[in-house]
Structure 1
């Protein structure tokens, strides 16, 4: 009988430990949205630069032939 109680206690402990592993943020909704927009703007700039570089290399390769 004592073994059953031990299992229950172990299950409770495990569930409690699993619950604490989540990532939490301290940002408010508007701060989170602003951060998201800033990151998106940076990524758009990087993509535009990569596209320009890709197009530039394609044009110069065509001119060489």
Structure 2
């Protein structure tokens, strides 16, 4: 190998660059409104479960 580690360094640099380009991008293809609605529904379900657990815990 007459090129030394030049190929490996270039590969590592490119991998880091590609990772930085895709960082923060969402893959769920939802609009902001759809995402907010989904998250709100999840939070409502979570809150309901928490309230039920609290009610069950206090009625011992």
Task: Kindly report the root-mean-square deviation, in angstroms, between the aligned alpha carbons of the 2 structures.
Answer: 2.5
Residue segments in structure 2 that go unaligned for 5+ positions in a row: none
Q: C-alpha offsets along residues 4-52 of structure 1, whole Å, 9 cap, x if unaligned?
A: 4213322134323xx2687622111000000011001101110111011
CA distance in 2, matches of 1:4, 1:52: 64
Residue segments in structure 1 that go unaligned for 5+ positions in a row: 58-65
Q: Which runs of 4+ in 1 moved over 6 A?
A: none
Name which of structure 1's ranges 21-30 and 31-40 shifts more when overlaid on structure 2: 21-30
- For residue 47 of structure 1, what is the aligned residue in structure 2? 50
| Paired positions, count | 55
CA distance in 2, matches of 1:49, 1:38: 17
TM-score, length basis structure 1: 0.64
Higher Cα radius of gyration: 1
